[in-house]
Amino acid sequence: MNQLTIDFDKLKDIALRGIRRTYIFLALGVNAARDERLKNYHLTNFSMFRFVPDNVDTQTLRGFKSAFEQWIISNGLRELVESFASFMDGVYRICLVIGTNNGKVSSNNVDTDRKQFEKKGIEAKMKLLRNKFSISTEKEKYFGSINQARNCITHRQGKVGPEDTKGQDTFRFIWLGLDCYAETPKGQRHSLIPPFPKEGVFLEEGANVKVQVIERETEYRIGEVIALSPNDLGEICLLFNLATNDIAKSALEYARKMGVKIRIKKQ
């Protein structure tokens, strides 16, 4: 009898590696963009070609760096979504093999089925995983919006078009975030979300620090450009981290129901 070994930790790491890469590259890029000492925008030591003039004025240089920061954030979102999609592909392949081998799932052509799944966006992938294998996560409601933002950034340089609004007045970009704030005895709230003022936050009467999970929403009209803050992308990283754990746990339960013997690694 053939034996199949499935390492769910390695499967999860496809998505988690994408989250780590996004976090690290986001930090390197944003720190560079906001470092006033960094003014060299030429590849002097690495290339003989130049496509922009020397010694641009301060305002133009600031424009370069601001655009660079948004480019970093936008590409971070793309990396995040594409890594998560690859993770979902792996989950689908495993569940398809388990299901077809146990006769619980019918497929005329497993290879074709797999290739068709891989062409879909994360919203459609999640729907198939849920309908076919009962794989679930409460974070699914955000996948459509995040995937559409990724498509807009990839195909339209972030400029919202009719493809994004889909007949509505605006494109609603929604995700799950954390609202961190200090609440005074009088009920006043002071946000503790970065960036912080250099002088800090002083509350004479004291306050309790609280964290609340909330739904973020930004609306864009046709022609407007999607722009995220570093904290926004950090929150989306957290959302994908939570969703990865949900899906991996759900896939493990599916394997268990199909009679697969589960061995838990000793830490």
pLDDT at 2: 54
- The DSSP annotation for 26-80 comes to HHHHHHHHH-TT----S-TTT-S---S-SS--HHHHHHHHHHHHHHHHHHHHHHH
pLDDT at 1: 41
pLDDT at 63: 96
Q: Does 179 share its domain with 243? A: no
Q: Does 21 share its domain with 77? A: yes
Residue 192 near residue 237 (C-beta atoms within 8 A): no
Residue 246 CA: distances (Å) to CA of 58, 83, 249: 48, 16, 5
Q: Does 50 share its domain with 176? A: no
pLDDT at 66: 96
pLDDT at 134: 94
What phi and psi values does residue 160 have, to the nearest 5 degrees?
-70, 130
Which range of residues forms the domain containing residue 203? Answer: 166-221
Q: Does 194 share its domain with 239? A: no
- Pairwise CA distance, residues 69 & 231, whole Å: 13
Other C-beta atoms within 10 Å of 39: how many? Answer: 12
HSE value, Cβ hemisphere, 13 Å, CA-based, for 37 = 1
Amino acid sitting at position 161: G
Closest CA relative to residue 85, chosen from 139, 130, 123, 133: 123
- Pairwise CA distance, residues 90 & 60, whole Å: 45
Residue 262 lies in a domain: no
Residue 140 near residue 110 (C-beta atoms within 8 A): no
Q: What's the structural domain count of the chain?
A: 2
In which region does residue 223 sit, left (phi positive, over 0), alpha (psi from -120 to 50) or beta (all else)? Answer: left
Residue 264 lies in a domain: no
Question: Global pTM?
Answer: 0.88
In which element (H, E) is residue 32 found?
A: helix 8-34
pLDDT string in tens for the chain (267-residue length): 456 677 888 999 999 999 999 999 999 999 999 999 999 999 888 888 889 998 899 999 999 999 999 999 999 999 999 999 999 999 999 998 888 877 667 666 778 888 999 999 999 999 999 999 999 999 999 999 999 999 999 999 999 999 999 999 999 999 999 888 788 888 888 777 777 777 777 777 788 888 888 999 999 999 999 999 999 999 999 999 999 999 999 999 999 888 877 666 655
pLDDT at 3: 61
Residue 123 lies in a domain: yes
In which region does residue 158 sit, left (phi positive, over 0), alpha (psi from -120 to 50) or beta (all else)? Answer: left
User: How big is the CA angle at 170 (ends 168 and 174), to the nearest 5 degrees?
Assistant: 110
Q: Does 84 share its domain with 201? A: no
